Chains A and B, each alone.
Chain A
Amino acid sequence: MRRKMYEKEISACSIFGAMNIEGERFTGEGVIKAIANMHLRGNGLGGGFAIYGLYPEYEYYYALHIMFRGNEGAKKETDALLNRSFDVVHDEEMPSGERANVPDPPLVWRYFVAPDKKGKDKLLSDDDYVVQKVMDINLRIENAHVFSSGKNMGVFKGVGYPEDVAEYFQLDSYRGHIWTAHGRFPTNTQGWWGGAHPFCILDWTVAHNGEISSYGTNRRYLEMFGYHCTLNTDSEVIAYAVDLLMRRQNLPMDVVAKIFAPPVWEAIEREEESKKILLAMLRRVYAPLLINGPFAVIIAHHGEMIGLTDRIRLRPLTAGVRGKMTYLSSEEAAIRLVSKKLDRAWTPNGGEPIVVSLDGGGRGEKVDEVIPFA
């Protein structure tokens, strides 16, 4: 048997996120413009978008965006697996514009499904069941890759500049209350469609700029919990880590930020007693999930968008607020392009998350003021 070989792509990038904290849906025009404005941070080898509040008509079904390469085989196998494991209520080829400037687009299909659990799978929650199936497809079916797997949201991504990818998937026709976007600059391998950002598991998405020097440690820890990194890029670990910590272990975002980007021991020692104990415990237990190396990341799920940098802030991240809109971006200029006037704009400290959420967690409910985590 040939050794298992892990590939890791390295990339520099642009990231952008916009959220309406009243949950009102808006079109992607501004977001596409903003990410296109950071054209030089990418190299045309990857771009992508995550949109929340995307499929209100199917809001109770998992929306699976799946990419197929090569001939029919992968799709046939995947269809068989989906039909075995889910009720597929609707599926169709992803609408796309043929003329967009993207190389070798693969077949992308969307399925709206409800879990059909049998036997001992009935003990699993719906979410855990879906994660398992996503892993099955990514791991076992060659040439099939799940782009996204959450409800009422979806990821569109591919090779090309983000504005070209947006054109290819005709994103100007969609609306959502959170949009995140990513422009990619992979440096060590040819970009491929599955390797573009955002990464997604269930409704968690991650758009990441950076290189994770702790990748091996993070990946091997996540493998113990059933996550297998198959998309050949280091950012994938953040998506799985977020799923593990926030969904499965139910840890609050403030805590997760301190796991990914913990304060140094000297700073921990200066904290008051209760905080010291907490931070020290987090570092001990979750040491393998410290994300080391330069990163800035926009994490999103329903009702929440989070920006975070590594603990010594080796990659840029800026935030801006205007009325009910909040923006996160690699560069402030991109925010100013979309919203000339801002109520405030600021750059958070390394390792300090910006959490933007809908008040009460429900969609479309009352507004809360955006506060940077102190």
Chain B
Amino acid sequence: MEGEEEKKWMKSYLLPEFIIERNEDRCIKCKVCERQCAFETHRYDEELDRMFSNEESCVGCQRCAVFCPTNALTVKPNQSAYRPNYSWTGERISDLTKQAETGAVLLTGSGNDRPYPIYWEHLLLNASQVTNPSIDPLREPMELRTFLGRKPDMLEAELMDDGEVRISTEMPPNVMVKTPILFSALSYGAISYQAFKSLAMAASEYGTLFNTGEGGLPKDLRKEYGKNAIVQCASGRFGVDLEYLNCSAAVEIKIGQGAKPGIGGHLPGEKVSCLIAETRMIPAGTDALSPAPQHDIYSIEDLSALIYALKEATNYEKPVSVKIAAVHNSAAIASGMVRAGADIIALDGLRGGTGAAPKMIRDNVGIPIELAISSVDERLREEGIRNRCSILAAGGMRCSADVVKAIALGADAVYIGTAALIAMGCTLCQKCYTGKCNWGICTQDPYLAKRINPDIASRRLTNLLRAWSMEIKEMLGGMGINAIESLRGNRDHLRGVGLQEWELEVLGVKGAGE
């Protein structure tokens, strides 16, 4: 990495971000913390028979604190601070210091953590009282089944003499998910094989889909989990072949990602192991570079050509999704995408996660997903083409209420990425780009990766899906709705609080009390 050279001879002026307190009375010197930390924060000194910490390297991932058998460790943000300054915050000063010491682009992982408005927190849900009975999901049917893909504008149906109804309209391919929650694109390479497999297992177990991301689908997973996979075809075209496309539930063209709109990807050669190389179809040990644009897509016509190439390759049996980052003109772009043949529009908002992105991009480019869902849904309706695609929303869904609000704004279903990682252990330390994830998720180091046991991690994921689905049912029942489709785009069940007129207008909701 750039700047590594400098580090060797220049004194760093950075303050440690975290302070580690070790309760010496409790510590039994078992060295668990030393082994758990890939950043080499803890060290046992044999002579002194004592544990020491190197706080400069601590990333605050809490792995050591969780695994310490005696709860001897407390890791907390460093309280010592520069003189308060509204403009030059501690983070700005230390970022700048870092750059002065390395001369490099600031890298980061996970999603945008800046205090932009989170519209979920400004939207409130409705519930039935008196005039409309609320429905108890434990006693009455409550349906979450969702179909993704294009729907015809109408069905041609004819009542035959024998009382049978004959439909002559051809149905475009749709995929069914049992709950409107899918796992977002997390590529093998960015995350470990174990984490990747856990997502696949959970999706298949629960009856939903996972997204391979741009790193292909390992051959040994295709037979069992292909039917629950959305396989991506991204700018690097890694791992794309006929078998890959055809073993899937749906194909997704990745144009952009919420965490880094307009930016490509880079998997350094040292992470490209033999299996990753085979899966991505590149030589082992070489850098896997994803160009910023797809170099065969410079226009909407080009997109259409790729969409139809993929439909041809899959015999028109799979819906084709196109994923874009939510940016200023998403609504117009989405309309073009539908007309170009996309069956699913995947929108990834400002707070979408990533394995690695330049911090300036992650923190400053894009728009919040709530506004993007709303404007895209409205635009497609104005043009009368909303039913020709499904909208998948990603980037910042933290709980089941966020999912309900996303669907009420107009999404068909949501992608969760960060939430799924947290279910597997991630603590949002944002150091995914280092490849040293102590939780075994964002790493290719076999020693770290084996910390994820797919049987257990997939169980944690299905538990999450089950819990959220149950909560969604409760909220639906409260609104007097017993099928998720009656919530879709039903903004009457939302009210805004603390929003300005233009925000209410874009969201298409009334203010609370109106």
Contact = CB atoms under 8 A, between A and B. Distances in A.
Given A3-B501, A216-B490, A312-B140, 8 more contacts: A5-B510, A213-B480, A213-B486, A252-B157, A278-B165, A285-B155, A287-B488, A292-B483
A312 B505 contact: no
Contacts of A225: 384
Given A6-B492, A216-B490, A217-B487, A224 B131 contact: no
A175 to B, nearest CB: 32
Interface string A186-199: 01100000000000
Contact of A284 (B151, B159, B508): B151
A287 B132 contact: no
B171 A249 contact: no
A264 B141 CA distance: 7
A194 to B, nearest CB: 20
A342 B169 CA distance: 43
Contacts of A10: 131-132
B485 A287 contact: yes
Contact of A288 (B157, B159, B488): B488
A294 B132 contact: yes
Nearest to B490: A216
Contacts of A4: 508
Given A213-B481, A252-B159, A290-B483, A3 B505 contact: yes
Interface in A208-252: 210-211, 213-217, 220-221, 223-225, 249-252
A-B pairs with the 9 shortest C-beta distances? Answer: A214-B486, A216-B492, A216-B490, A287-B485, A292-B486, A213-B480, A252-B159, A211-B132, A217-B490
B486 A284 contact: no
Nearest to A185: B131
A186 to B, nearest CB: 10
A173 interface: no
A347 to B, nearest CB: 18
Nearest to B485: A287
Contacts of A187: 130-131
Interface string B458-483: 00000000000000000000011111
A251 B505 contact: no
Contact of B141 (A8, A252, A266, A274): A266
29 contacts: A3-B501, A5-B510, A214-B486, A216-B408, A217-B486, A217-B487, A217-B489, A220-B490, A221-B489, A223-B381, A224-B384, A251-B157, A252-B158, A252-B165, A255-B157, A255-B165, A274-B164, A281-B155, A281-B171, A285-B151, A285-B387, A287-B483, A288-B387, A288-B485, A290-B485, A293-B132, A293-B481, A311-B482, A314-B133
B380 to A, nearest CB: 9
Nearest to B149: A284
Contacts of B501: 3
Contacts, number: 127
Interface size class of A (residues with CB under 8 A): 35 or more
A10 B126 CA distance: 14
A265 interface: yes
B497 to A, nearest CB: 15
B386 interface: yes
Contacts of A249: 154-156
Contacts of A217: 485-490
Nearest to A291: B486
Interface string B188-205: 000000000000000000
A12 interface: yes
A285 B132 contact: no
Interface of A: 3-6, 8, 10-12, 187-188, 210-211, 213-217, 220-221, 223-225, 249-252, 254-255, 264-266, 274, 278, 281-288, 290, 292-294, 311-312, 314
Interface of B: 128, 130-133, 135, 140-141, 143, 145, 147, 151-152, 154-159, 164-165, 167, 169, 171, 174, 381, 384, 386-387, 408, 479-483, 485-493, 501, 504-505, 508, 510, 514
Contacts of A293: 132, 480-481, 486
B167 A281 contact: yes
A282 B486 CA distance: 14
A211 B480 contact: yes
A224 B387 contact: yes
A224 to B, nearest CB: 5
A298 B169 CA distance: 29
Contacts of A264: 141, 143
A4 to B, nearest CB: 8
A12 B504 CA distance: 30
Nearest to A12: B131
Nearest to B142: A264
Given A216-B493, A290-B483, A251 B155 contact: yes
Contacts of A284: 147, 151, 171, 174
B68 to A, nearest CB: 48
B90 to A, nearest CB: 40
